Structure 1
Amino acid sequence: MNHEQSRSLYDRALSVMPGGVNSSVRATRPYPFFVDSGDGGHVVDADGNKYLDFVMGYGPLLLGHDLPKQVQSAIQQRASEGPMYGAPTEVEVELAEFVSRHVPSVEMTRFVNSGTEATVSAVRLARGYTGREKIVVMQCGYHGAQESTLVEGKGDDTSPSSPGIPSSFAEHTLTVPFNDKAAVHSVFEEHGDDIAAVLTEPILGNYGIVHPVEGFHETLRDVTEEHGALLIFDEVITGFRVGGLKCAQGKFDIDPDITTFGKIVGGGFPVGAIGGKAEIIEQFTPAGDVFQSGTFSGHPVTMAAGLETLRYAAEHDVYDHVNTLGEQLRAGLTDIVADQAPEYTVAGTDSMFKVLFTREGPDDQTGHCEAGCKQRPDCPRYEYCPKNGSDVKQTETERWERLFWPAMKEQGIFLTANQFESQFICNAHTEEDIEKALDAYKEAL
């Protein structure tokens, strides 16, 4: 493939943007390709190279790059009526009503502009509602670029994971490993009266794809209720992708107090949202005292894109299509891995997938999960499959980034740029796309 134009653009970008990118995950070796346009389930770069796209904007593009007419028309109509107003519009009410009708735990919603803003606001809300300061997050979990969750360490021995964050922020953040029920009980036994909330993804989606073990979410729900803390589900990635319109909380039958959304709920435009029980969400200003505001919150173009995307998904069997393709892809990857790299782990559910370059596996593959790790105790891979972010961190991340990702790119397959970020299927993908991807995996592995 020729990448002369992308390299030229990267050289220009280095002069005016730090690292040549506006999001660190876009920095690939030796330099990123620059996208010129999207085409259904593909992207075309500045040099005219076409790639089968499984990045999908890091999750927002449930429908792909070619939007259906009803979605495109709604976006164009809103944009033609004026960029924004600094006043409420009917479409934001309609989107909030749609979310409340379909997500069991959500009675009220406050729209914001990004997943990071949603989790920042959710943490502030939990602290304001409970009058407590400490929060519990999962080790290696990611909840956006916010000071309260950019921490490292174990339990109450935490420190900021980035320069520029005062250590006092980390003092109020406690960590436990995902899927470690004993650690959850231990941290609440020691700090329960000071904990405002537990913040977790229902499935780790920014550190590999890791399913909850049986009973983990139930433990979180029980222990937070027992100690008067809130349970916050970060569904920025899984919301309206895993579990369909009921989201991952519906799939796992868990009722969190607060849910954060992003990505799909904005239909590909910048968005975030905080939803939950009315008595909690009403603590936001102006109804309550917890300050939250934003110039672009509830932007009419974003609201229209999100509403029509979700309506289209509900009316046109989108979830059946993408989930079927996801099952097909993960099943094919499982067969390839069993033959070529039996120590590797295929992960994912619904329209999410990933091959984790784990270093060990069982001798006998009989009876293992056939289309993505589900953390079944009776699976022969159970003791080898990653259970938390630390396990994923021990995989062959350098091999994935230095050898595997470039090999897939050269075959015209666009994957997320590291071992940790999830990959996604969209409604524009076809069975032929899945077969092409499987052939590429077979060659690259």
Structure 2
Amino acid sequence: MNHDRSRELYDRALSVLAGGVNSSVRATRPYPFVIERGDGAHVIDADGNRYLDYVMGYGPLLYGHDAPEQVQSAIQRHASQGPMYGGPTEIEVDHAEFVARHVPSVEMLRFVNSGTEATVSAVRLARAYTGRDTIVVMQGGYHGAQESTLVEAGDDPSHTRPSSPGIPESFAEHTIAVPFNNEAAIREVFEERGDEIAAVLTEPILANYGIVMPVDGYHETLRGLCDDHGSLLIFDEVITGFRVGGLQCAQGKFGVTPDLTTFGKIIGGGFPVGAIGGPAEIVEHFTPSGDVFQSGTFSGHPVTMAAGNEYLRYAAEHDVYDHVNDLGDRLRSGIRDICEDQAPEYTVVGTDSMFKTVFTREAPGAFENHCGGGCRQRESCERFETCPKTGADTAAAATERWERVFWQEMKEQGIWLTANQFESQFVSDAHTEADIEETLEAYKEAL
């Protein structure tokens, strides 16, 4: 492929954008290809190269790059009426009613502008509601670029430190990081400091760290500990929301109802968005009905609300989830078969319309009873002891092999995957069975 134009544009970007990009995950080696436009399940770069797209905007593009006609009409109608007003609109009420009607934990919402803003506000709300300061997060979990959760465990597991320069140690002092899926660790934390814990903040599935599924009963344990100690359970469904579990989200799929839920991605229909949802008793503590400050000029932006509302309504009225989940299962099962033959140490992960291959380093003793459509953390599986269960397990994979070799090979075959070992990949309603077969052939070649 010719990438001359992308290289030229990246060279210009390095002079005016930090690192040449506006999000660090876009800085691929040796330089990113610059996207000109989308077309269904594909993107076309500045040099005219066409790629089958599984990045899908890192999740929000449930329908690919050509939204259904009713979504496009709603966007155009609201955009033509004025970009924004600084006052309430009917469409934000409509959208909130739809989300509240379908998601088990939600009675009331506050719309914001990003997933980061949603988790920042949820943490503030939880601390104010409980009168406590300490937040528990999962090692390898991601909750946006906020000071309270950009932390990592130090040499002493009881001590948490900032994971980025620029964050005072005092922020990390109020956050405890525990390994995902480790029931003993979370029980120990609550035994020692349960009366200090405002909330446990977790993704239902670690979706920014190789797609790590919960072991059986883990979320029920979190729910029980929070109930016993008067803490809130917060599910960060920015990625899993309306991707996993359909309209009920991952909490519906797993049958565990959190106290608060954060949203993003699909609920904005491809436009910037975030939201915090939960029981009215808790969410009404936001100003102006309560004392917990939260505000934003662009919150509930009418074009975003219109796009998100029609996005979800279309999914409710058509068999979108059946289609994308079936394609996701076909893709994961196909990759699993290829790995069994060519790279038995690799682990295929994901659920519904999400997928990834983790370049784990240990092969199972046998493939009998192995999970066919993505790791399910089943104890009866031959791989159970070696499949990733924590963020550290994924970090210990052959991450350089993904970035330096595999991703590059797939790109040259016209398949665009997320550029590192950790970020989730997504199937859209625009993908076809032929696309899946093309992708599997590329996997055979690249692996």
**Scaled by the length of structure 2, what TM-score is found?**
0.99
Looking at structure 1, the residues matched to 363 and 176 of structure 2 have their Cα atoms a distance apart, in angstroms, of 32
Q: Distance in 2 between matches of 1:243 and 1:274?
A: 18
Matches for 1:76-91 after TM superposition, within 5 Å? 76-91=76-91
Partner of 2:250: 248
Q: 1:123-144 CA distances to partner (integer Å, 9 max, x unpaired)?
A: 0000010000000000121100
Question: Structure 1: which amino acid aligns with 2:434?
Answer: E
Query: Contact between 1:354 and 1:422, CA under 8 Å: does it hold in 2?
Result: yes
Using the TM superposition, give the Cα deviation of residue 156 of structure 1 relative to its aligned residue in structure 2, in angstroms. Answer: 3.4
Inter-partner Cα distance in structure 1 for 2:423 and 2:290 = 36
CA-CA distance at 1:199 after TM superposition: 0.2
1:229 pairs with 214, 228, 231, which one?
231
Does residue 356 (structure 1) correspond to residue 351 (structure 2)? The answer is no
Determine helix, strand or coil for the equivalent of 1:259: strand
Match of 1:41 in 2: 41
**1:315 corresponding residue in structure 2:** 317
**In 2, Cα distance between equivalents of 1:29 and 1:6:** 12
Match of residue 138 from structure 2: 138
Output the amino acid matched with 1:234: D
Matched residue of 1:421: which SS? Answer: coil
Letter of the structure 1 residue corresponding to residue 285 of structure 2: Q
One-letter amino acid matched to 2:145: A
The correspondence of residues 183-222 of structure 1 with structure 2, limited to 5 A, is 183-222=185-224
Give the counterpart letter for 1:300 in structure 2: P
> Counterparts of 2:439 and 2:317 in 1: how far apart (Å)?
28
Displacement after TM superposition at 1:67 (Å): 1.1
**Superposed CA RMSD:** 0.6
Q: For the residues of structure 1 that align with 2:179 and 2:130, how far apart are their CA atoms?
A: 24
Does the 8 Å contact 1:221/1:256 carry over to 2?
Answer: yes
* Cα deviations by residue, 1:213-238 (Å, 9 ceiling, x for unpaired): 01100000000000000000000000
Q: Tell me how far apart the structure 1 counterparts of residues 69 and 105 of structure 2 sit (CA, whole Å).
A: 31
Structure-to-structure mapping, 1:122-161, within 5 angstroms: 122-153=122-153, 155-161=157-163
Partners of 1:17 and 1:54 in 2: CA distance: 26
Cα shift readout 1:120-171 (whole Å, capped 9, x = no counterpart): 0000000010000000000121100000000011553011010000100000
Once residues 68 and 263 of structure 2 are traced to their aligned partners in structure 1, the CA distance between those partners, rounded to angstroms, is 23
Partner residue in 2 for 1:299: 301
User: Which position in structure 2 is the counterpart of 1:65?
Assistant: 65
Provide the rounded CA distance (Å) in 1 between the counterparts of 2:77 and 2:151: 43
Q: Which residue of 2 aligns with 1:398?
A: 400
The residue type paired with residue 209 of structure 2 is Y
Give the Cα–Cα distance (whole angstroms) in 1 for the partners of residues 360 and 206 of structure 2: 16
Query: Structure 1 residue 363: deviation in Å?
Result: 2.0
Partner of 1:329: 331
Inter-partner Cα distance in structure 2 for 1:260 and 1:183: 24
* Amino acid in the other structure paired with 1:124: R
Whole-angstrom CA distance in 2 between matches of 1:105 and 1:151: 27
Superposition deviation, residue 74 in structure 1: 0.1
- Aligned length in residues: 445
C-alpha contact 2:140 2:206 (8 A) present in aligned 1: no
How many angstroms apart in 2 are the aligned matches of 1:249 and 1:67?
Answer: 26
Structure 1 unaligned spans of 5+: none
Q: 5 Å matches for 1:399-418?
A: 399-418=401-420
Question: Who is 1:17 aligned against?
Answer: 17
Q: Deviations over 1:67-113 (max 9, x none)?
A: 11100000000000000000000000000000011001100000000
- Contact in 2 for aligned 1:156/1:171 (Cα 8 Å): no
Contact in 2 for aligned 1:119/1:144 (Cα 8 Å): yes
Unaligned runs of 5+ in 2: none
* Matched residue type, 1:43: V
Kindly indicate whether the alpha-carbon contact (under 8 Å) linking 1:137 and 1:198 is maintained by their aligned counterparts in 2. yes
The equivalent residue for 2:106 is 106
One-letter code of the match for 1:40? G
Work out the CA distance in 1 between the residues paired with 2:315 and 2:430.
Answer: 12
Contact 2:160 2:175 in 1 (8 A): yes
Q: How far apart, in 1, do the equivalents of 2:77 and 2:264 lie? A: 23
Whole-angstrom CA distance in 2 between matches of 1:282 and 1:438:
49
Residue identity matched to 2:75: I
Partner of 1:341: 343
Matched residue type, 1:313: A
Secondary structure in 1 matching 2:235? strand
Distance in 1 (CA, whole Å) between partners of 2:371 and 2:231 is 35
* d(CA) in 1 for partners of 2:312, 2:345: 38
Residue identity opposite 2:335 in structure 1: L
Asked if the contact 2:358/2:397 (under 8 Å) is kept, the reply is: yes
Q: SS of the counterpart of 2:98?
A: helix
* Shift of residue 361, structure 1, vs aligned partner: 1.9
The offset of 1:354, in angstroms, is 0.2
Does the CA contact (< 8 Å) of 1:158 and 1:171 recur in 2? yes
1:382 is aligned to 2:407: no
Distance (whole Å) between structure 1 residues aligned to residue 109 and residue 415 of structure 2: 37
Alignment TM-score, normalising by the size of structure 1:
1.00
Cα distance in 2 between the residues matched to 1:318 and 1:141: 28
Aligned to 1:269, which of 271, 275, 294?
A: 271
Tell me the residue number matched to 1:182: 184
Q: Equivalents in 1 of 2:119, 2:26: separation in Å?
A: 22
Corresponding position of 1:442: 444
Q: Which residue of 2 aligns with 1:28?
A: 28
Q: What is the CA–CA distance in structure 1 between the aligned matches of 2:345 and 2:246, rounded to whole Å?
A: 31
* SS state at 1:175 partner: strand
